[in-house]
């Protein structure tokens, strides 16, 4: 493998210096880090899953730098996507955990977490994620080149290399962004039709069906593909068409905790909120832990190589091998941990800081390896956070840190570790892209740190803004992952969870694992309302239909599929941005609603039109000259 890597030649040779870490790339990268961070926050709070921002950031960078500023440096474009994608990763870790603190404040009449506390925790976790990845670079990026696929890192490098021929692909991203923005404004701003359509099935009591007819979910489904989308939908169908009707059929007029009414009087949403949500929580927790257990051999292998990497020097004569030195990364990590411990207003003591360092480095290693195999969008970050929360809460309870203060500390620990895992995965993908195109690693590491700080400074405002518009846990922003984290901590600390329902979910996950199906997507589909899985499945079916069509050449087939990925990325960003704008309007009392005059069928018609426009753009791209 070593000899093979010595033969590898990056696109920009090591002895050639071109513009890379420039003021333009840093400024544009910071803007994209904040924008994609905000859009990711909205998406994660609405559906409980996020997608990588590396490719759309790279495409937008090419559109601005090449087409508007007329600059031609692939390494500048790579730097922009490196900084920009850091915002998405940091936001993922934050929205999966921190909303739990807002929900506790609303539930108990207490104070929400301060801006300063959120900012310090977010930036601290982001910096630690980058620093913990530095010892892993040689082992994962260089020595395993050609072994670990790093799907998104490879794809992003292909986009950047394609951009050397022109920036036409950026038009697809901006088209998707603009159309999704207009659609979202009509649906949730003017409220011309309901963005969530819903029907109960009277002939089959307890069941129901519906869909959130929104562009971001359609885009998520296309990017994930039909197989992953089908696992999500299968979990939802199992919950809404098997478990819920079974509860009504068997329960009848009985009342069971946590519900306060008889089964046969509960609506579909009541059945989901009182029973399915807890069953799904158990399944997601078990799925995350099973994923970690299965990857334990890879974890051990990566740890072994990371330890050997401590003998490598950070500074090198060759430009493409220069990296932040390992002593600097270690000292920096210790300083950040000490600051988290000593910073006033941050509920992290010495024990909590120690847990963060141990679990943070462990899960940074896990995440960096996992994204090399399955990509950032499929990495089980939430499973790592749940595992951390379970162990941290048990330790805190055993040492007398109980009550709201203990639960707050547990969530803070989980937040930092979740951000570390997300950032380490994003950093490894970006370093792989840089390795292929010939970037300078130390500049990319600086870029990741800048992106983490920029997104960390913005995330508190985004969280406060969205919570003021639609409280977390509401139908508009269910915050599914954070709700799950909250339930885990409460269950361990207070013992007030309906553990019977949770263990039903655990054993459902075990059954799914036994039959060989991916547990996490099935469990997430069971945990989320079916209204989210349906449009995601629609996007997956569009991807499947496109992939199975006949094309004149394989190059044209790949081009059309990639067009869909770029357009879908734009739709996700467009809806997220307008979601933030509508949240601002709600906070300031701006009313635009027309009263959903078109009804459910109107929503279906608009969604069908959205699909038609999406297909039009996917197939309208210029045919490859190759």
What angle separates helix 530-548 from helix 554-587, to the nearest 10 degrees? 160
pLDDT reading at 454 higher than 80:
yes
Lowest mean pLDDT among 73-82, 220-229, 484-493, 576-585: 576-585
Phi-psi map region of 301: left, alpha, beta (phi>0 left; psi -120 to 50 alpha): alpha
pLDDT reported for residue 376:
65
| Per-position b or e across 199-232, b if 16+ CB within 10 A of its CB | eeeeeebbbbbbbbbbbbbbbbbbbbbbebbbbb
Among 549, 341, 484, smallest CA distance to 44 is for 484
pLDDT reading at 111 higher than 70:
yes
Rg (CA), the chain: 24
pLDDT reported for residue 478:
86
pLDDT reported for residue 122:
95
Give the CA angle between residues 332, 333, 339 to the nearest 5°: 90
**Average of per-residue pLDDT across 131-154:** 77
pLDDT reading at 129 higher than 60:
yes
Q: Give 203-233 pLDDT, tens digit per residue.
A: 999 999 999 898 988 988 888 788 888 998 9
Q: Give 523-535 pLDDT, tens digit per residue.
A: 878 888 898 889 9
Lowest mean pLDDT among 18-32, 153-167, 390-404: 153-167
pLDDT reported for residue 464:
92
pLDDT reported for residue 373:
62
**Average of per-residue pLDDT across 265-273:** 89
Structure tokens at 327: 């002593």
Q: Are 234 and 283 in contact (CB under 8 A)?
A: no
pLDDT reported for residue 625:
46
Whole-angstrom distance, CA of residue 202 vs CA of residue 473: 27
Structure tokens at 490: 């409460």
pLDDT reading at 296 higher than 70:
no
Q: Give 301-358 pLDDT, tens digit per residue.
A: 656 665 665 545 445 568 888 888 878 888 999 999 999 999 988 999 999 999 999 9
pLDDT reading at 293 higher than 80:
no
**Average of per-residue pLDDT across 39-68:** 76
Whole-angstrom distance, CA of residue 422 vs CA of residue 367: 7
Q: How far is CA 221 from the centre of its chain?
A: 14
Q: Give 379-401 pLDDT, tens digit per residue.
A: 667 767 877 888 899 899 999 88
- Judging by DSSP bridges, how do beta strands 196-200 and 208-212 pair with one another? antiparallel
Q: Give 226-251 pLDDT, tens digit per residue.
A: 888 899 899 999 999 999 999 999 99
Per DSSP, the residues of 24-92 read HHHHHHHHHHHHHHHHHHHHHHHHS-----HHHHHHHHHIIIIIIS----HHHHHHHHHHHHHHHHHHH
pLDDT reported for residue 624:
44
Whole-angstrom distance, CA of residue 98 vs CA of residue 419: 11
Q: What proportion of the chain, given as a percentage, has pLDDT over 90?
A: 33
**Average of per-residue pLDDT across 425-431:** 91
If pLDDT is split at 50, 70 and 90, which confidence band does 622 have? low
Whole-angstrom distance, CA of residue 315 vs CA of residue 321: 8
Ranges of each domain in the chain: 22-170+295-493
């Amino acid at each position: 493998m070593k000899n093979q890597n010595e033969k590898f030649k990056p696109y920009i040779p090591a002895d050639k210096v071109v513009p890379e870490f420039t003021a333009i790339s840093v400024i544009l990268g910071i803007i994209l880090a904040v924008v994609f961070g905000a859009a990711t926050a909205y998406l994660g709070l609405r559906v409980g899953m996020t997608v990588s921002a590396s490719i759309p950031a790279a495409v937008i960078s090419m559109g601005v730098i090449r087409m508007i500023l007329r600059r031609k440096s692939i390494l500048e474009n790579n730097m922009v996507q490196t900084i920009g994608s850091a915002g998405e990763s940091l936001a993922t870790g934050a929205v999966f955990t921190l909303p739990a603190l807002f929900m506790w404040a609303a539930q108990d009449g207490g104070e929400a977490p301060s801006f300063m506390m959120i900012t310090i925790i977010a930036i601290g976790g982001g910096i630690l994620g980058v620093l913990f990845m530095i010892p892993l670079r040689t082992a994962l990026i260089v020595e395993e080149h050609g072994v670990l696929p790093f799907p998104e890192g490879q794809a992003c490098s292909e986009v950047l290399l394609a951009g050397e021929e022109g920036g036409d692909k950026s038009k697809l991203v901006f088209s998707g962004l603009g159309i999704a923005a207009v659609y979202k404004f009509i649906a949730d701003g003017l409220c011309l039709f309901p963005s969530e359509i819903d029907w109960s099935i009277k002939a089959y009591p307890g069941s129901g069906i519906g869909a959130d007819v929104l562009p971001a979910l359609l885009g998520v489904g296309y990017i994930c593909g039909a197989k992953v989308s089908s696992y999500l939908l299968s979990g939802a169908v199992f919950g809404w068409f098997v478990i819920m009707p079974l509860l009504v059929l068997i329960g009848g007029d009985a009342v069971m905790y946590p519900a306060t009414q008889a089964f046969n009087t509960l609506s579909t949403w009541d059945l989901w909120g009182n029973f399915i949500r807890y069953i799904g929580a158990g399944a997601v927790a078990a799925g995350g832990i099973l994923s970690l257990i299965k990857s334990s051999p890879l974890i051990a292998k990566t740890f072994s190589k990371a330890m050997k990497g401590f003998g490598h020097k950070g500074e090198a004569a060759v430009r493409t091998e220069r990296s932040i030195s390992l002593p600097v990364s270690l000292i920096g990590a210790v300083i950040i941990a000490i600051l988290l411990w000593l910073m006033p207003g941050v509920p992290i003591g010495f024990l909590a800081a120690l847990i963060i360092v141990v679990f943070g480095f462990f899960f940074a290693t896990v995440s960096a390896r996992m994204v090399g195999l399955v990509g950032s969008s499929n990495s089980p970050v939430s499973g790592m956070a749940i595992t951390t929360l379970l162990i941290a809460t048990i330790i805190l309870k055993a040492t007398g840190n109980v009550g709201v203060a203990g639960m707050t500390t547990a969530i803070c620990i989980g937040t930092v570790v979740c951000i570390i895992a997300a950032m380490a995965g994003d950093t490894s993908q970006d370093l792989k892209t840089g390795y292929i195109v010939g970037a300078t690693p130390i500049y990319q590491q600086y870029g990741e740190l800048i992106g983490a700080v920029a997104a960390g400074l913005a995330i508190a405002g985004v969280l406060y803004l969205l919570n003021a518009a639609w409280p977390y846990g509401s139908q508009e922003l269910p915050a599914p992952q954070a709700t799950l984290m909250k339930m885990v901590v409460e269950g361990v600390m207070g013992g007030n969870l309906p553990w019977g329902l949770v263990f039903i979910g655990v054993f459902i996950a075990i059954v799914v694992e036994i039959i060989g199906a991916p547990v996490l997507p099935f469990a997430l589909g069971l945990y989320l309302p079916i209204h989210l899985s349906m449009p995601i499945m629609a996007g997956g079916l569009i991807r499947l239909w496109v992939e199975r069509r006949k094309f004149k050449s394989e190059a044209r087939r790949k081009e059309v599929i990639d067009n869909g990925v770029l357009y879908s990325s734009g739709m996700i960003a467009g809806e997220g941005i307008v979601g933030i704008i509508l949240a601002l309007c709600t906070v300031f009392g701006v009313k635009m609603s027309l009263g959903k005059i078109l009804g459910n069928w109107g929503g279906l018609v608009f969604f069908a039109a959205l699909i038609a426009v999406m297909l039009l753009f996917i197939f309208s791209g210029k045919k490859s000259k190759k």
